[in-house]
């Protein structure tokens, strides 16, 4: 039986609470699943600052590099508002992404039938929605140089950000999108703005080449990112996999997030390059939400985003599709029975705590596995 090594970094605030429910799921899999998980805990964010005066230590970074996957909770909170800039809690996450070269950010937007009512869009537009946004995470305008603010000396200042992409960066992210599409509904939509941006011209050219060279069997289309944003709220079910750059991906994935209801439901994965020898990728899985200081310590956090992030690890790092499907079905069943944490409450639903939600999901896994 295979053994997978996980580094668990719960972080701050509700990060520790929702990670507790992932541990419950891992314990179930270790008893009933087809692989074993060895877990280690580590500190990141404010918790790491309190212990070691840095947002992540070199020793924890080394453990992250050695793990088969990192499962990350959330970092930050008012307690650390005044710590030195380089030691701020977010710096821990940024270092993990940078040092592990996690260039592909996968954000699924799935609307569980039981939650279709809580979307801000009409039920029939979002019910059954299942799309995947693949965002380039290590390049583009957030990192491009020059990145400056210059005083022009005449009472004016000039700010410059630089959008920059090389061919290889576009090739590797679109390959991730095409590979994902092959395991889903076989369709990729690439979004850029080639009408006004040179980086968009190159993006479109490279995606088209990769498609015709390597993925002819996948249905493929281009959309301008602005009209793509409109289509995303008008008729989101037309999409399967959307691939786009860092800036557009940041915005489009937040739009897609809102289609599904609550932040407490949204998982994500960040993947690095495939090692040609081991065929493994560096990978970090985390919920989209933050440390939610307003509800931390109250047992109110929804653990589904965190559990679903772990489910992504089962799918993309460990190829454990059967177990991943089982947990997804258990989550859907618990929601269908009307169990709700406060963030997704609705009329007639039964309000449960973080822990009760986790227990109900594991109980449902038990039932489904029989
Ligand atoms: P947040 O995601 O922590 O919270 C936004 C709102 O959503 C809050 O009202 C919160 O109660 C609610 N919420 C979030 N997750 C929930 C869950 N699982 N269940 C129920 N309700 C949930 O964002 P914020 O308030 O802007 O930021 C709080 C802190 O988290 C800040 O320090 C911020 O820097 C940090 N942050 C960290 C990450 C990360 O670690 N990846 C991401 C975003 C924000």
Neighbours of 164 (CB within 10 A): 15
193 is catalytic: yes
Measuring CA to CA, which residue among 264, 276, 332, 329 is closest to residue 301?
264
Tell me, using a 6 A CB cutoff, whether residue 266 lines ligand 1: no
Q: Which residue has the higher pLDDT, 128 or 176?
A: 176
Tell me, using a 6 A CB cutoff, whether residue 343 lines ligand 1: yes
The answer to whether residue 278 scores a pLDDT higher than 90 is: no
The answer to whether residue 261 scores a pLDDT higher than 80 is: no
The answer to whether residue 320 scores a pLDDT higher than 90 is: yes
Cβ–Cβ under 8 Å, residues 270 and 317: no
pLDDT tens-digit series, residues 325-347:
999 999 999 999 999 999 998 88
Could you give all domains of the chain from N- to C-terminal order, each with its CATH number? 1-110+266-370 (3.40.718.10), 130-259 (3.40.718.10)
The answer to whether residue 112 scores a pLDDT higher than 90 is: no
Write the burial class of residue 144 (CB in 10 Å: 0-12 exposed, 13-18 middle, 19+ buried).
middle
The answer to whether residue 237 scores a pLDDT higher than 80 is: yes
DSSP state of 290: -
Tell me, using a 6 A CB cutoff, whether residue 77 lines ligand 1: yes
235 is catalytic: no
Cis geometry, peptide bond prior to residue 166 (ω within 30 degrees of 0): no
Which pLDDT value is given to residue 274? 87
Binned at pLDDT 50, 70 and 90, residue 232 comes out as very high
The answer to whether residue 281 scores a pLDDT higher than 80 is: yes
Which pLDDT value is given to residue 173? 98
Mean pLDDT of all residues belonging to the chain: 95
CA of 290 to the centre of ligand 1 (A): 3
Tell me, using a 6 A CB cutoff, whether residue 44 lines ligand 1: no
Give me the catalytic one of 193, 204, 282, 316.
Answer: 193
Atom number of ligand 1 nearest to Cα 287:
41
Three-class secondary structure of residue 180 per DSSP = helix
pLDDT tens-digit series, residues 344-366:
988 889 999 999 999 999 999 99
**Inter-helix orientation angle 167-182/198-214, to 10°:** 50
Cβ–Cβ under 8 Å, residues 344 and 124: no
Cβ–Cβ under 8 Å, residues 43 and 27: no
Which pLDDT value is given to residue 14? 98
Distance of CA 155 to the CA centre of its chain: 42
Measuring CA to CA, which residue among 317, 250, 253 is closest to residue 282?
317
Pocket test for ligand 1, best of 70, 254, 270, 291 (most atoms within 8 A of CB): 291
CA of 75 to the centre of ligand 1 (A): 9
CA of 191 to the centre of ligand 1 (A): 28
Rg (CA), the chain: 21
226 is catalytic: yes
How far apart, in whole angstroms, are the C-alpha atoms of residue 44 and residue 17?
Answer: 15
Which pLDDT value is given to residue 262? 78
Task: Copy the structure tokens of residue 277.
Answer: 């020898």
pLDDT tens-digit series, residues 169-206:
999 999 999 999 999 999 999 999 999 999 999 999 99
Task: Copy the structure tokens of residue 340.
Answer: 């709700």
Tell me, using a 6 A CB cutoff, whether residue 93 lines ligand 1: yes
Tell me, using a 6 A CB cutoff, whether residue 265 lines ligand 1: no
How far apart, in whole angstroms, are the C-alpha atoms of residue 351 and residue 341?
Answer: 6
Tell me, using a 6 A CB cutoff, whether residue 76 lines ligand 1: yes
Dihedral, CA of residue 319, residue 325, residue 326 and residue 327, to nearest 10: 90
């Amino acid at each position: 039986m295979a053994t997978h090594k996980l580094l668990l970094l719960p972080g701050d605030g509700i990060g520790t609470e929702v990670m507790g429910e992932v541990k419950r799921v891992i314990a179930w899999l270790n008893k009933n699943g087809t692989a074993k998980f060895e877990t280690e805990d580590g500190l990141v964010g404010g918790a790491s600052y309190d212990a070691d005066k840095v947002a992540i230590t070199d020793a924890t970074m080394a453990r992250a590099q050695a793990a088969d996957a990192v499962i990350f909770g959330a970092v930050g909170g008012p307690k650390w508002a005044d710590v030195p800039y380089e030691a701020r809690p977010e710096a821990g996450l940024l270092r993990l992404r940078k040092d592990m070269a996690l260039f592909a950010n996968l954000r699924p937007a799935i609307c569980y039938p039981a939650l279709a009512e809580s979307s801000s869009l009409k039920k029939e537009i979002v019910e059954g929605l299942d799309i995947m946004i693949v965002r380039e995470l290590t390049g583009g305008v957030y990192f491009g140089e020059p990145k400056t603010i210059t005083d022009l000396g005449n009472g004016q200042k000039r700010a410059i950000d630089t959008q920059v992409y090389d061919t290889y960066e576009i090739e590797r992210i679109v390959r991730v999108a095409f590979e994902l599409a092959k395991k889903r509904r076989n369709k990729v939509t690439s979004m850029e703005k080639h009408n006004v941006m040179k980086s968009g011209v190159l993006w479109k050219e490279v995606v088209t080449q990769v498609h015709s060279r390597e993925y002819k069997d996948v249905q493929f289309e281009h959309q301008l990112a602005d009209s793509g944003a409109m289509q995303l709220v008008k008729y989101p079910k037309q999409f399967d996999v959307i691939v786009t750059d860092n800036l557009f991906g940041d915005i489009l994935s937040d739009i897609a997030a809102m289609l599904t209801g609550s932040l407490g439901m949204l998982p994500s994965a960040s993947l690095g390059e495939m090692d040609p020898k081991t065929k493994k990728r560096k990978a970090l899985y985390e919920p989209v939400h933050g440390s939610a200081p307003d509800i931390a310590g109250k047992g109110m956090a929804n653990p589904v985003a965190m559990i679903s992030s772990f489910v992504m690890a089962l799918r993309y790092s460990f190829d454990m599709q059967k177990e991943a499907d089982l947990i997804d079905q258990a989550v859907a069943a618990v929601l269908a029975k009307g169990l709700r944490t406060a963030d997704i409450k609705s009329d007639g639903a039964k309000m449960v705590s973080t822990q009760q939600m986790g227990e109900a999901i594991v109980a449902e896994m038990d039932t489904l596995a029989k």
